[in-house]
Amino acid sequence: QVLSLVVPTQLQRVTHQALHRLFHTRSCLFVGLHIALQAAVFGEYTWEVFMYCWELQFHLLLLLLLPYLLLAGNVGCFLLCSRANPGIVTKSNAASLVEVYAYDGVLFQRGLVCPTCAVEKPARSKHCSVCRTCVHRFDHHCVWVNNCIGASNAGVFLLYLLSLTATAGAVAAVTAALLVQVLLLSNAMHGTYLDAQGQEHAVEIPFLVQHLFLTFPRIVFMLGFVILLTLVLGGYCSFSLYLALTNQTTNEWCKSRRFGGSSPLPSQPCDKPLVYKNIYSKGIWRNLKEIFNPTTVLERKKK
């Protein structure tokens, strides 16, 4: 019985340590996985889709090359995002960064000191336990780029998401166009088949999908994966665009949703609940401008 209790405990400890190392320490594992997935998709796209389109005299050469052009832009954004300083708060710049954003008194309060970095926390900043630094206008820590997303690289990260979604969508569109072209050339859409009872039926979509899967299994599998990837990335990209247009960060959005359990400020009555209001939104155009051209303390003083 003692052995049966010790084994699950050790397994839980090992699992916890593995998950901690995976998600709570800086690691190139997800970067490598990201590159491997892109290499696999584009290897299959080049070897199967591109070559088949070339043999079928697919005249839309620009459409065939579009995924490669988007990939080049995506790789550039990825490198910039992963290697950029996200906006680390240090003892030398903390006093200046405190003046960039006003404290809303709800999510961010003046005078708080980070116990790890021993610096005053500017409004909209947060200590990242993975990078072990405080980041100005902290959004989240992204394991896929192995870096925090903050004031200095939020715009590049948004471009990275947009280009990644567009790349997956372009690969899916070209692959789907190839399969439709194959069906048109084979005249399979107007064919018939015999069922188990020997009765003749016109082909339907499930039959065509099965036919394509049996004929081009790797291409169909890749198409399904890329479509799913496009939908997932599209949803996350839409959410990120919403945050950018409203001048919010992921950290602020999550905190505002669970703020009901927070304690009231000393200046407010205990029976009066705090109401969160986004004070940082300045309109769509100025919000986007702040994402791609972060406000510095010098600019704020001029205003």
pLDDT in tens, 74-90: 999 999 999 989 999 99
77, 81, 128, 142: which one is catalytic?
142
Q: Which amino acid is at 224?
A: G
| Tokens of residue 4, six digits | 């049966």
Active site residue 142: yes
What is the pLDDT, as a whole number, of residue 16? 64
User: What three-state secondary structure class fits 193?
Assistant: strand
Sign of the dihedral through C-alpha 149, 152, 153, 156: positive
- Residue 115 CA to residue 169 CA, distance in Å, equals 45
Tell me which residue has tokens 């799913």: 228
- CB atoms near residue 290 (< 10 Å): 19
- Residue 293 CA to residue 213 CA, distance in Å, equals 48
Q: Locate the domains of the chain by residue range.
A: 41-85+153-257+276-302
- Residue 257 CA to residue 255 CA, distance in Å, equals 5
What is the pLDDT, as a whole number, of residue 196? 62
What is the pLDDT, as a whole number, of residue 212? 79
Residue whose C-alpha is closest to residue 84's, from 129, 141, 150: 150
What is the pLDDT, as a whole number, of residue 264? 42
Sign of the dihedral through C-alpha 275, 280, 285, 289: negative
| Tokens of residue 159, six digits | 């471009």
What is the pLDDT, as a whole number, of residue 198? 66
Q: Angle CA(24)–CA(27)–CA(32) in degrees, nearest 5?
A: 135
Q: Angle CA(152)–CA(248)–CA(292) in degrees, nearest 5?
A: 35
Sign of the dihedral through C-alpha 170, 76, 151, 36: positive
Residue whose C-alpha is closest to residue 158's, from 240, 76, 281, 85: 240
In tens digits, the chain (303 residues) has pLDDT values of: 444 545 567 777 767 666 656 666 777 888 888 899 999 999 998 888 888 887 776 766 667 888 999 999 999 999 999 998 999 999 999 999 999 999 988 889 998 999 999 999 999 999 998 889 999 999 999 999 999 999 999 999 999 999 999 999 999 999 998 888 888 777 766 666 666 666 666 666 777 777 778 888 899 999 999 999 999 999 999 999 999 999 999 999 998 887 643 444 444 444 556 677 889 999 999 999 999 988 755 445 444
What is the pLDDT, as a whole number, of residue 231? 97
